[in-house]
């Protein structure tokens, strides 16, 4: 389901429906805008509240929810991954770091590493439709509402981590982090995040930064880099038109098995 904030966006969404079979809905509570939102401008902040509203609406209707920002390319079906590791909630990585994706943050196994939680990004989120998960999302929304009265720059991503670390523990939920090798971010350096499976259970490596693949001399990444990815998120990629160019590059490279420029970082 795609949520449109304007009639023009709704029309564009419906025009793609015959190809992808998705649903389109209009949220007319928000003033439509074109181009990019500035960090912490009014529309950026309102989007944070809207995002949680959409998630809570889905959960309250009894549906598991996968929430994706719009600057994401889905390359392969992620549902087997989401459902195959027992998590009640998933969050994605802000940085290319080594953390086990099969352990809940509150598990004895993870606690034995004595590591801080990784920096999380909420561009890709999963929520199982249970009472405990729904309660935590409701608490996330209410914390946003209570803080904005004296903190106008309240940020949904910041509050997500603050609330969930406590709420998931109280309700004994499995809150886990997505493997950054499969759920890639344009904030990762070079052509994506990479490390070995053994690193995820090595106490000396867990919590450490990992290096990404290097692009070629033309700044391109190869199918060897992105062929196994499930998703790619495009923060740290400039304005909307710049993101669109990089996203198009990844789509063409993935489906044509050719190298492509998919990042502003050519290191």
Of 100, 154, 103, 156, give the one whose Cα is nearest residue 125.
156
Q: Rounded to an integer, what distance in angstroms lies between the CA atom of residue 126 and that of residue 128?
A: 7
Any idea what the CATH number is for the domain that residue 65 is in? 3.90.550
Q: Are residues 218 and 129 in the same domain?
A: yes
What is the pLDDT, as a whole number, of residue 224?
94
pLDDT per position as a tens digit, 144-188: 999 888 887 888 999 999 999 999 999 999 999 999 999 999 999
Domain count within the chain: 2
Same domain, 63 and 170: yes
Q: Is residue 261 part of a domain?
A: no
Q: Are residues 47 and 11 located together in one domain of the fold?
A: no
Query: Nearest 5°: phi and psi at 89?
Result: -145, 140
Query: What percent of the chain is helix, strand and coil (3-state, nearest 5)?
Result: 35, 15, 45
Q: How far apart are CA 259 and CA 256, in angstroms?
A: 9
pLDDT higher than 60, residue 126: yes
The span from the CA of 137 to the CA of 56, in Å, is: 6
What's residue 48's pLDDT? 84
Has residue 35 been placed in a domain? Answer: no
Q: Residue 1: give the domain boundaries.
A: 1-29
């Amino acid at each position: 389901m795609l949520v449109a904030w304007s009639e023009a966006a709704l029309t564009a969404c419906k025009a793609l429906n015959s190809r992808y079979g998705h649903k389109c809905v209009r949220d007319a509570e928000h003033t439509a805008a074109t181009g990019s939102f500035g960090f912490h401008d009014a529309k950026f902040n309102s989007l944070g509240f809207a995002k949680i509203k959409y998630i809570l609406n889905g959960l309250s209707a009894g549906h598991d929810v996968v929430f994706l920002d719009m600057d994401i390319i889905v390359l392969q079906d992620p549902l087997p991954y989401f459902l195959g590791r027992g998590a009640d909630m998933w969050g994605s990585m802000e940085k290319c770091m080594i953390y086990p994706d099969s352990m809940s943050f509150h598990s004895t196994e993870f606690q034995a590493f004595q590591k801080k939680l990784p920096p999380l990004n909420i561009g890709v989120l999963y929520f199982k439709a249970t009472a405990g998960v729904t309660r935590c999302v409701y608490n996330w929304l209410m914390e946003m509402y209570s803080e904005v009265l004296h903190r106008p720059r309240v940020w949904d991503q910041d509050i997500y981590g603050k609330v969930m670390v406590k709420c998931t523990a109280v309700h004994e939920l499995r809150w886990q982090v997505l493997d950054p090798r499969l759920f890639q971010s344009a904030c990762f350096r070079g052509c994506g995040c990479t490390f070995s499976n053994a690193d995820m259970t090595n106490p000396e490596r867990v919590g450490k930064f990992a290096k990404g693949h290097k692009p070629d001399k033309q700044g391109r990444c190869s199918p060897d880099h992105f062929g196994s990815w499930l998703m790619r998120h495009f923060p740290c990629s400039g304005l909307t038109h710049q993101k669109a160019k990089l996203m198009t590059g990844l789509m063409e490279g993935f489906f044509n098995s050719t190298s492509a420029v998919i990042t502003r970082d050519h290191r």
